[in-house]
Chains A and B, each alone.
Chain A
Amino acid sequence: AQSVTQLDSQVPVFEEAPVELRCNYSSSVSVYLFWYVQYPNQGLQLLLKYLSGSTLVKGINGFEAEFNKSQTSFHLRKPSVHISDTAEYFCAVRADPQGAQKLVFGQGTRLTINP
């Protein structure tokens, strides 16, 4: 079974400051990793994903994440945030193709951008 821990439930930052949202996972098999963003009263939108290959993954809206297998982490970063980045961010894992297809989500991190 897989589990995901998002270490911060809320992260307030000032506009144009850098931000890092932390995600750690636990799994006995290899996994795929995802970050989704949820704007208020909307569904989830895929930001980026790691399947294999380069451990640094670039996504939409200037976000990137780095897969660290030894630390079982997949932290999300953005060098300079904008007011429009205010949203809830979810880290998720899925077992490899031979495993279950369900996504296992973390509790979410609410990112608030202050002017």
Chain B
Amino acid sequence: NAGVMQNPRHLVRRRGQEARLRCSPMKGHSHVYWYRQLPEEGLKFMVYLQKENIIDESGMPKERFSAEFPKEGPSILRIQQVVRGDSAAYFCASSLSVTDTQYFGPGTRLTVL
């Protein structure tokens, strides 16, 4: 049973470009969470999605960031017009139900030049 998969593992973008981060949850999991880990800090919640719905986006920056979890395919975290401050590790987690344990993927490390 494959775990949570994220790609790419490493992503380099120049300022002003777009970054797309993908997350495939564990088989059977319909709840997806995105977290961001800035250097030397803990993880901070960004957004919680179920299939085709955003449930909680209280941690998402108001501009340039968006997330989706379509009926088919992976969840996507999209960052438009990236800036150096967006450089971080972005982790996706999934769970079987709303009360179940969250299982984390290996993360995508975004570097903005």
A contact set with B: CB distance below 8 Å: 4, 6, 34, 36, 41-46, 49, 90, 92, 97, 100-108
Q: A91 to nearest B CB, angstroms?
A: 9
Number of residues from B at the complex interface, CB < 8 A: 27
B45 touches A43 (CB 8 A): no
Check: B107 CB closer than 8 A to any chain A CB: yes
Chain B residues touching A, majority SS: strand
A101 touches B42 (CB 8 A): no
Check: B25 CB closer than 8 A to any chain A CB: no
What number of A-B contacts does a CB cutoff of 8 Å give?
Answer: 57
Q: Within 8 Å CB of A34, what residues of B?
A: 101
A90 touches B43 (CB 8 A): yes
A104 touches B99 (CB 8 A): no
Q: B82 to nearest A CB, angstroms?
A: 21
Check: B69 CB closer than 8 A to any chain A CB: no
Digit string of B1-43 for contact with A (CB within 8 Å is 1, else 0)?
Answer: 0001010000000000000000000000001010100000111
Check: B84 CB closer than 8 A to any chain A CB: no
Q: Within 8 Å CB of B4, what residues of A?
A: 43
A49 touches B101 (CB 8 A): yes
A43-B107, A44-B104 known; A102+B42 contact, CB < 8 A: no
Chain B residue nearest to A42 (CB atoms) is B106
User: Within the assembled complex, what's the spacing in Å between the Cα atoms of A45 and B91?
Assistant: 12
Check: B98 CB closer than 8 A to any chain A CB: yes
A108 touches B42 (CB 8 A): yes
B56 touches A102 (CB 8 A): yes
Q: A50 to nearest B CB, angstroms?
A: 12
A43-B106, A44-B91, A45-B104 known; A102+B45 contact, CB < 8 A: yes
